[in-house]
Amino acid sequence: MARTIGSHGPRTMEAIRKAGLKLIYEHGFEAMSLRQLAAEVGIQVGSLYNHISTKQDLLFDLIRAHMDELFSQFDTAMAVVADKGPEERLRAFVAFHVTYHIVRKREVFIGASELRSLEPNHYEEIVTLRRLYERHLIAILDEGEKAGLFHCGDARVAAYGILAMLTGVCTWFRPHGRLTKEQVIAIYSQQVLGGLMGPRAP
């Protein structure tokens, strides 16, 4: 009949996004049902459709918003080192990427693992944005290479490796765990920088 008091408007949409994030992270997009989602939000299934157009669109909306946030925070973080050299900018990149992937671990995980559930148009849009992000790292590596500072072998492959290494933290890092975020950043900075700047293998 009438609406449940206190559950209205933009607050409902926010609750749907939050619950969607949680359930997709826990069960995967395909395995999450809109019944689960509605129950988590505390409304009826049909009511979801006052806020989303399809299940697919909810997924795209969440991933797209995550990409926007990623770029927004990335720009802020990199602005500080914009006029520094490649080494310092790479350090900043590592610190930013690890931090973001620890703080937004669910968004990040979904943004990678549920890509295949996006329909072609949405898929293309997100993949394009991901490539754009990768290119920022590749650009730093290229610059370092040109300056004789880094030895990448191949900037793109090196970038893929670095991104995979750093992104991995979202699968195992636990806040209040054995290591602090700063320690992880230090370890991976050393590993990445050392790998690029160290002596060449024989």
Partner DNA sequence: TATGAATGAGTGTTCATTCAT
Partner DNA sequence: TATGAATGAACACTCATTCAT
- Judged by the rule CB under 7 A, the positions of this chain that interact with DNA are 1-4, 7-10, 12, 32-36, 43-51, 54-56
Q: Rounded to the nearest 5 degrees, what angle is found at the Cα of 159, between the Cα atoms of 155 and 161? A: 120
Q: Give the alpha-carbon dihedral of 32, 22, 18, 95, to 10 degrees.
A: -140
Amino acid symbol at 93? F
**Least distance to a copy of itself, CB of residue 157, Å:** 5
Nearer to a copy of itself, 5 or 172 (CB): 172
**Residue span binding a copy of itself (CB under 8 A) among the ranges 6-14, 25-33, 52-60, 69-77:** 25-33
Asked if 139 and 185 count as a contact pair (C-beta separation under 8 A), the reply is no
Nearer to DNA, 54 or 128 (CB): 54
Distance separating alpha carbons of residues 45 and 71, to the nearest angstrom = 33
Binding footprint of a copy of itself on the chain (CB under 8 A):
27-28, 30-31, 113, 116-117, 151-154, 157-158, 160-169, 172, 179, 183-184, 186-201
